[in-house]
Amino acid sequence: MKKWHLESPLFSALSEEERRTISSEMQPEDYRKGETIFAEGTPSQAMYVVESGWVSIISETDGRKSILANLGPGSVLGEMAFFGDRPYSTSAEAASEVTVWVLTKPAFAELIASEPSIGVKLSLASGSKIAQVGDYLAESRLPSVPFFSQLCL
């Protein structure tokens, strides 16, 4: 992944080394014009960073599709649903030939386990609690702290 793809505000609090670490966990995916990247209402499985092309963010109400935004290179897609561990609130569709870099939930969970500070920094940058960080702390860190061991039973 090229360096500038992780220069969105979401990744701004991360060091260069932390950005490289996240990049190493991401995989490229290509979509043709009109293909769905993710669908509204489906469980979030990944977040995406657009490398090339354009993606339309779409909402559907009463069977009518509305384009809410068109996002290009460097844009991050699906991060709020991904971090909040909830379904996608909109759909993302390739408006042209598109290449995105994908960070899956399993890859992110491994990343947090090895580099918890990355999860905390992304949580602060996104302005919301990242569910996976809370799960990580509850399952692996807090039970070893005497005060919290009673709460994590």
Read off the pLDDT of residues 120-135 as tens digits, 9 standing for 90 and up. Answer: 788 777 765 555 455 5
pLDDT of residue 5: 59
Q: Please answer whether residues 89 and 81 qualify as being in contact, where contact means their C-beta atoms are separated by less than 8 angstroms.
A: yes
The domain at 3-149 falls in which architecture? Sandwich (2.60)
For the chain, domain boundaries: 3-149
Give the C-alpha separation, 58 to 77, whole Å: 12
List pLDDT tens digits, range 82-111.
888 899 999 999 999 999 999 999 999 898
- Cβ neighbours of residue 60 under 8 Å, at least 6 residues apart? 40, 66, 91
Give the pLDDT confidence of 44-89 residue by residue, as tens digits: 999 999 999 999 999 988 889 999 999 999 999 999 898 888 999 9
pLDDT of residue 147: 42
Query: In angstroms, rounded to a whole number, what is the distance separating the alpha carbons of residues 9 and 133?
Result: 19
